[in-house]
Structure 1
């Protein structure tokens, strides 16, 4: 790793996003989040969208552009640590470093080592006649860095979006997309396939299928994937189920509808953590005008008694418990009143500045669930961006404080009878308005 990347990695390691509201990774674009549980901790391996560099005239400015990978970790799905760059296109001998094609990755663990699988564009090679996208492997003894790439991609695997599965008997499998969906057994060294690729069929026709993610639950294999049913639409998330890792699979239905934000892609992973199942996916929250810069999200996913998946409705609240003593971003709400309330960007010239809640009619409210109030709280502060009037601060629908808004900036008032433990928080406009609120925080 160069000095440039070491410095960047160190700086990013110190950056902790203290909130898991969607999107849960702040300050940079992340897509295709593959979540894995290692050593009792959740790790997320996304791709990293960037703007096409101006000094690279060969790159399409209206297309996906990715040059490296970060990894993020959390023990509570609320506080996330960015461990910095773990692999870049310049480090991989076989990758065309001018292609910026480090697309959706995966990571798995076996026998003391971690294997990062990633697709990229190969260097032109007149001898082996390689071309297009292939899948390579980088290996480390840690899940959060130190990955050393192999000098060649995996022979016989042409395509993108690698996914791995290690079955209960120890056999490992690799799945990928490219001219259809495919899967194959992996050799014990995890660096080569050990069978001819098997085409995954019996899936509904459509314009595009990609991003396979395979997992096993209660003896059933789930083959999940994004796809565009009709050309010109955006991707939904769908799934099929089967009794063996390479199929056949029977199509079962949708996991998530097409993006309401008109993000053309959606790419996901599904993982169990501490007894709950989670869906990791992406939308284009921080880039509403350009859906090739995307942002990773999390929501819970649930299963029916017969093993089928209940469709997931994307939320802004996301998952995790938010401490009352942190800055609570109410705009990542659990519920917003149907009248008199809205969410807007704070700064449309800098979408990473986040969002604000706008209450503009009497009794309009925003509710935010799963706040840990701890004990002994005596005051609440609100960052006011605009407006005048009175806001009621409620915990479980009981008023604990009143914020009189006369000016912008941070307003602090006393609170009373705040219950201990985890409860819902809401803010209601009692009079005046409209009032724009960035965050609230208890002390």
Structure 2
């Protein structure tokens, strides 16, 4: 990240304007939480004290490189975080050109999973085979093995025998028995041998699931003796996340409810995982945030998940804010708001390069945005910085707790037709975790990219 500049602290109110040609956005736990590439189908796993996410990697197909207008994936990355806020990309871990049995030009490396057993990490992935006479024309599921959750992963020379389909998911029960789930029209399960590379039982088609519409992407977990089979299902036109509960990893399961409704904007797919991390449960899923006109280029999200007393899952309402605590001294993307008023709107900074992110436009006086869970630490901040442009002069207020809560900072805005960085040194003393309210008191047409305290 570029260092901007220092603001003198001996003035009560300072308005500084600095031309900025480009700003590198810090990857933070706001949805989507991976912000430099398309990602989908996130499987989250806890290894040690870190949370790892293994997604598929959408790219845009081109003539001769995948099927134009369709899903296109050629490799996998892994990401990790210790706080759900700062995410590290550990780079590419498996590529279609490095898997001995895979079609090196298949561009079909769909939803994966990863599990740890006896100090080894087993990465499961589906793709099309290069030898269709030997393996058939349908997807096979392969395994790559590593000594660390970030790799390097070494793919097996053959796919798992007896398995045809996509979306592998592995669950290890308390007794040590491992199970492999996958989908291809139906959802299937089989026991795995100790070596995690071979089936140890006959394949079972899981019964009592919806017969109408596509079912895929199984993810199984256990909580308080109940086994949850969760999966995307097309009940109408797009996928919603549903679940069934049973008392055995191989079923039978009883259909129980919906975890997340269909996308309000029409993204055809959703694909997920559910994990507990530091005593809180989370739902990882995807949406086409960076590609609203093309839903085959998706981005991973996460939100908190809760259970009712009877073990049923409370429906998750997708948010832009996501989860995790935002450090006040980092760039706070208020366009990933917790709540927003009617006179504020969100749009891309650059529609030709959506990875530059979004901006918040305060269209009229009275417009506001709420952004929750900002950590100011134990030492008071002295400055406010934010990147903005303005159609006319105005006044901006930052409050805490509510729209009428304590005033943290007030800044006079000057008209500018170019993006500027503005700063104020008149900050009230504040520490700890706060909910922020950004309110336009006077003016209109003021746009904000980010704000940061120092």
Q: Decide whether the 8 Å contact of 1:221 with 1:243 is kept in 2.
A: yes
Cα distance in 2, alignment partners of residues 331 and 55 from structure 1? 37
Partner of residue 400 from structure 1, selected from 373, 397, 408: 408
Cα distance in 1, alignment partners of residues 268 and 312 from structure 2? 26
Corresponding position: 1:28 with 2:37:
yes
Can you list the C-alpha shifts for 1:327-361, whole angstroms capped at 9, x where unaligned? Answer: 00000000101x21111111111111111111112
Alignment of 1:8-407 (within 5 A): 17-56=26-65, 59-126=66-133, 128=134, 130-230=136-236, 233-337=237-341, 339-374=342-377, 375-388=379-392, 389-396=394-401, 397-406=405-414, 407=416
Going from structure 1 to structure 2, the CA distance change for 1:19 and 1:129 (only over 3 Å counts) comes to closer
Cα distance in 1, alignment partners of residues 110 and 27 from structure 2? 27
Cα distance in 2, alignment partners of residues 260 and 415 from structure 1? 41
SS at match of 1:260: coil
Post-superposition offset of 1:154: 0.2
Quote the residue 1:436 is aligned against. Answer: 447
Can you list the C-alpha shifts for 1:255-312, whole angstroms capped at 9, x where unaligned? Answer: 0000112110000000000000000000000001110000000000000000000000
Q: Decide whether the 8 Å contact of 2:289 with 2:299 is kept in 1.
A: yes
SS at match of 1:90: helix
Post-superposition offset of 1:145: 1.6
Post-superposition offset of 1:386: 3.3
Q: Decide whether the 8 Å contact of 1:205 with 1:229 is kept in 2.
A: no
Post-superposition offset of 1:17: 4.5
SS at match of 2:355: helix
SS at match of 2:97: helix
Higher relative contact order (CA 8 A, sep 6+): 2
Normalised by the size of structure 2, how large is the TM-score?
0.91
SS at match of 2:450: strand
Q: Decide whether the 8 Å contact of 1:186 with 1:195 is kept in 2.
A: yes
The number of equivalent residue pairs is: 423
Post-superposition offset of 1:168: 0.2
Unaligned runs of at least 5 residues, structure 2: 1-23
More deviation, 43-52/378-387: 378-387
Going from structure 1 to structure 2, the CA distance change for 1:401 and 1:182 (only over 3 Å counts) comes to same
Quote the residue 2:424 is aligned against. Answer: 413
SS at match of 2:241: strand
Can you list the C-alpha shifts for 1:52-72, whole angstroms capped at 9, x where unaligned? Answer: 13443xx32110000000000
More deviation, 197-206/33-42: 197-206
Quote the residue 1:7 is aligned against. Answer: none
Cα distance in 2, alignment partners of residues 17 and 136 from structure 1? 34
Post-superposition offset of 1:387: 2.8
Q: Decide whether the 8 Å contact of 2:362 with 2:368 is kept in 1.
A: yes
Post-superposition offset of 1:379: 1.1
Q: Decide whether the 8 Å contact of 2:244 with 2:254 is kept in 1.
A: yes
Q: Decide whether the 8 Å contact of 1:17 with 1:25 is kept in 2.
A: no
Cα distance in 2, alignment partners of residues 129 and 191 from structure 1? 16
Cα distance in 2, alignment partners of residues 158 and 265 from structure 1? 21
Cα distance in 2, alignment partners of residues 434 and 315 from structure 1? 25
SS at match of 1:195: coil
Cα distance in 2, alignment partners of residues 348 and 358 from structure 1? 15
More deviation, 406-415/343-352: 406-415
Q: Decide whether the 8 Å contact of 1:358 with 1:436 is kept in 2.
A: yes
Q: Decide whether the 8 Å contact of 1:387 with 1:405 is kept in 2.
A: no
SS at match of 1:209: coil
Cα distance in 2, alignment partners of residues 384 and 16 from structure 1? 15
Cα distance in 1, alignment partners of residues 135 and 200 from structure 2? 22
Q: Decide whether the 8 Å contact of 1:324 with 1:442 is kept in 2.
A: yes
